[in-house]
Structure 1
Amino acid sequence: MRLVPVDTYLNFGNGKKRPADEGGGTFNVFGSNGVIGHCDEFNNPAGTIIIGRVGSYCGSVHYSPEQCWVTDNAIKGTAKTGADARYCYYLLLTRDLHSLRGGSGQPLINQTSLKSLEVPERSFADQKAIAHILGTLDDKIELNQKMNQTLEEIAKAIFKSWFVDFDPVRAKAKGRPIGLPPEISDLFPDELVDSEIGEIPKGWEVKTIEDVAKVTSGKRPPEKESVQSETCQYAVYGGAGPMAFCSEPLNFTKPAIITGRVGTLGKVFYLTDDCWVSDNSILICDAGVYSPLVFYVLQSVDLTALNVGSTQPLVTGKDIKNLNLVAPSDSLLQEYKGLFDLIKNRQSTANAEIEVLAELRDTLLPKLISGELRIPDAEKFLEEAGI
């Protein structure tokens, strides 16, 4: 297959300083490593490719299907006549743009180095077909991600309504219907009473996390590998999430919740699979039906405000143990945990599908771009797979 300069297909240009209004807005603002905010203006059309220009993320590649603002930390790529923008995005993903870095101080990529790239010559029809195949997989991945986000918002909204705002109790106290099935509605009292933390539903109790769960620190893993392998297949969680892999899981009861103890503070994770929890994290387990409540209580607290570290951020197990929650009846806890588990199971199914789709996309991508895999063969494969 004949090679041609990449600027056969793309016009390149530097982004511009982001607008002064950095609050909410309609348009995504792209920096060197993707979306960094929103604004009310755009400086590039839908179908823009964004390439990190400066800093540790220079060479990263992103795509905006909508109008957007590209900052001066990035280079914008727009498709020329006879070129498909999404195909060009996938094309750049197959090139090692990081190898184009220069600069004596911080890493830098310029338009000249980008234009030096040679890429396979493809007809516009082939470009459209390849973009459609890979785009179909990415669209399904995005759909699953959005569904998971919606499910999480539903679970969190119900938690807040039932266990923070006490909406069903307030409605019953005023004689209004609460919009829940009778078997669930009957589990809520119809009166609020005073407590040491303010009004709570009658018959409910103020408890601490220590009252309902075991709070400990994680442990140093036996070894760490940056890439998952047959010998190191278990994720190692730190305060910021999965950070490595090790050969064995830490023994603790699941489900469990972890949050950062030292370094990264404020993130909270709900664990259902075997893994290792490192010693820079706090592990909360043995919570049983209280697990969802503990999870959302921790998410609702400003954990960074609990920082007691002098040289680096630190949260103590004692601070976590002393956090309050309002405990309803066991029957209502069971109802909510059943709903929460259904949502988590559906999210797990979607995540598993995302992994399969991403692996398939990453396998097809270089083969389609290089011509090693014929477009009809890829289309037939996806059709047989029901995609």
Structure 2
Amino acid sequence: MSSEVARFGDLFNEPQRNGLTRPKKVRGSGLPMVNMGELFAYPRIRNISMDLVPIDVKEHHYLLEAGDLLFARQSLVLSGAGQCSIFLGNVAPTVFESHLIRCRLNPIRSNPLFYFYFFRSPDGRRVIEAIVEQGAGASGIRGSDLVNVQVPNPPKQIQDEVAGLLGSIDDRITLLRETNTTLEAIAQALFKSWFVDFDPVHAKMQGRSPEGMDEATAALFPDSFEESELGAVPKGWKLVPFGQLLSHTIGGDWGSDVADEKNDTRVAIIRGTDIPDLQTNANSRVPVRYTSQKKLAGRKLEDGDLLLEVSGGSKDQPTGRSLFISTALLSQFECPVEPASFCRLLRPVNKEVGMLLAQHLTYIYAQGKTWEYQNQSTGIANFQTTHFLETELVACPSDDVLKVFTETVQPLIARAHLTQIQELTSLRDTLLPRLISGQLELHEVQTHPEDVLA
């Protein structure tokens, strides 16, 4: 399916447009507005939570329509500049903010989903990066340059078929990610039952068999509580400060954009903003930079490590997001991985304790407890790491209970589907250029697309 090319702007139904400026002080009521955060978090934007902003009746031309393409005008990293998302609809009329460029294609001539997938593909990124301007601390694109890029322009019927095929792969990826979320919620429920509510202990105190466990597991739990210097705890258990359960902790790194005499080692650097993406296997925005071997030696992330966000947040979102590092996650990268300078590496004393700490961090963040460890003095919220490590108490059970917990939870949070998600993502991104170039025909891949690239 080789095709002709076209100037991107010639496919438009109307000229491209930058969005609205609405300062935070006026937000809170009105219509939903797509911000940079939504664009980076949701490639396909549909019925998501957004800020509400006041809109004047004269600003109706900023309303989005299903099929509108949105491009990031600016980003702190090259990989984010010009990133494309597609608006697929919302329950309420929706507008978009000034850091985004809206492109509305002629639906008779062009399928916007086809061009969404093109701009998300490696070939599409190369087209975008050719127009990126890099300045001090940021990269960006201009709408006037975007309209002049050359894009593939196959017949509309072919566009529709390709978009349908790639959309079906995306739907499968979404289903797998939802399954991962469900499994991790089950792990959290088990953690809360055993280590927060102490359900098995309370059940045995009342002469009942603990729910959802066999006799051998139930026998590992005590049937009473005892007082400690730090409060009541199941008999034989301990309340231990978080920091005492770590063998190593160190702040992150940022390195440099390009290799030089000092920073000569290529490394992927995980930021706090990358944590939600990585939890769903979307690693495309993790910046790759250069650092020194000396810095990497103490910061290289390993299986079982924890990554903690220690700076950032907002008035509605505290710092303290965390990420459990697994072999499956590290395998997504072709180079060593380390935390960014606004994050911190936490290395537990062993894998079993690490599983407990990972669930503990997830739980207290969901409960809003990390607000207690946050201060804000210069407009940026900072996590009081030392205070947290010294005062945050973790309920530590017997070795036997911890072993059973780890064996139960490990398969749930190992993100077993990540490999399949990664393969489907690679398949989706690889199919488009091969279809456009004529290397593959649609009929070859519509039934079992995985077989084509096996």
* TM-score bracket for this pair, using the shorter chain length: 0.7 to 0.9
Alignment of 1:136-147 (within 5 A): 136-147=168-179
Mapped pair 1:53 → 2:73: yes
1:271 to 325, 331, 337: 325
CA distance in 2, matches of 1:160, 1:362: 39
CA distance in 1, matches of 2:230, 2:208: 26
Deviation at 1:163, TM superposition (A): 0.7
Deviation at 1:7, TM superposition (A): 4.3
Counterpart in the other structure of 1:77: 103
Q: Which runs of 5+ in 2 are unaligned?
A: 43-48, 54-61, 275-285, 314-318, 331-335
Deviation at 1:224, TM superposition (A): 11
Q: What TM-score, normalized to structure 2? A: 0.65
1:38 to 44, 50, 61: 50
Instruction: Look up the equivalent residue of 2:234 and give its one-letter code.
Output: P
Counterpart in the other structure of 2:87: 64
SS at match of 1:65: strand
2:434 to 367, 380, 387: 367
Deviation at 1:216, TM superposition (A): 4.2
Instruction: Look up the equivalent residue of 2:8 and give its one-letter code.
Output: V
CA distance in 1, matches of 2:452, 2:359: 38
1:205 to 232, 238, 255: 238
Q: What TM-score, normalized to structure 1? A: 0.74
Instruction: Look up the equivalent residue of 2:185 and give its one-letter code.
Output: E
Deviation at 1:335, TM superposition (A): 1.7
Alignment of 1:165-314 (within 5 A): 165-173=197-205, 178-183=210-215, 184-209=217-242, 211-217=244-250, 255-259=304-308, 266-273=320-327, 281-299=344-362, 300=364, 302=370, 305=373
Mapped pair 1:15 → 2:14: no
Counterpart in the other structure of 1:340: 409
Counterpart in the other structure of 2:165: 133
Please list the CA deviations of residues 153-184 of structure 1 after superposition, one character each: whole Å capped at 9, or x if unmatched.
Answer: 22123212221132343455556775312324
Distance 1:104 1:322, change over 3 A: closer
CA distance in 2, matches of 1:304, 1:244: 33
Q: Which runs of 5+ in 1 are unaligned?
A: none
CA distance in 1, matches of 2:133, 2:255: 38
SS at match of 1:356: helix
Instruction: Look up the equivalent residue of 2:233 and give its one-letter code.
Output: I
* Contact 1:49–1:62 under 8 Å retained in 2: yes
The percent of aligned pairs where both chains have the same amino acid is: 23
SS at match of 2:104: strand
CA distance in 1, matches of 2:310, 2:118: 42
CA distance in 1, matches of 2:172, 2:239: 44
Deviation at 1:372, TM superposition (A): 4.8
Deviation at 1:338, TM superposition (A): 0.7
Please list the CA deviations of residues 202-231 of structure 1 after superposition, one character each: whole Å capped at 9, or x if unmatched.
Answer: 4422223455442344899999988xxxx9
Deviation at 1:244, TM superposition (A): 5.2
Worse overlay, 130-139 or 373-382: 373-382
Deviation at 1:189, TM superposition (A): 3.9
Distance 1:271 1:249, change over 3 A: farther
Counterpart in the other structure of 2:45: none
Deviation at 1:354, TM superposition (A): 2.2
CA distance in 2, matches of 1:296, 1:256: 13
Aligned residues: 380
CA distance in 2, matches of 1:40, 1:286: 45
* Contact 2:373–2:383 under 8 Å retained in 1: no
SS at match of 2:50: strand
Deviation at 1:291, TM superposition (A): 2.0
SS at match of 2:98: coil
Deviation at 1:121, TM superposition (A): 2.9
CA distance in 1, matches of 2:253, 2:450: 47
CA distance in 2, matches of 1:125, 1:217: 55
Worse overlay, 251-260 or 55-64: 251-260
* Contact 1:30–1:50 under 8 Å retained in 2: no
Please list the CA deviations of residues 40-90 of structure 1 after superposition, one character each: whole Å capped at 9, or x if unmatched.
Answer: 699423333211235655522112333254223212233433232211212
Counterpart in the other structure of 1:331: 400
* Contact 2:301–2:338 under 8 Å retained in 1: no
Deviation at 1:268, TM superposition (A): 3.0
Distance 1:323 1:205, change over 3 A: same
Instruction: Look up the equivalent residue of 1:340 and give its one-letter code.
Output: V
SS at match of 1:45: coil
CA distance in 2, matches of 1:104, 1:294: 40
Distance 1:34 1:336, change over 3 A: same
* Contact 1:120–1:370 under 8 Å retained in 2: no
RMSD: 4.8
Deviation at 1:336, TM superposition (A): 1.0
Worse overlay, 262-271 or 164-173: 262-271
SS at match of 1:302: helix
Counterpart in the other structure of 1:152: 184
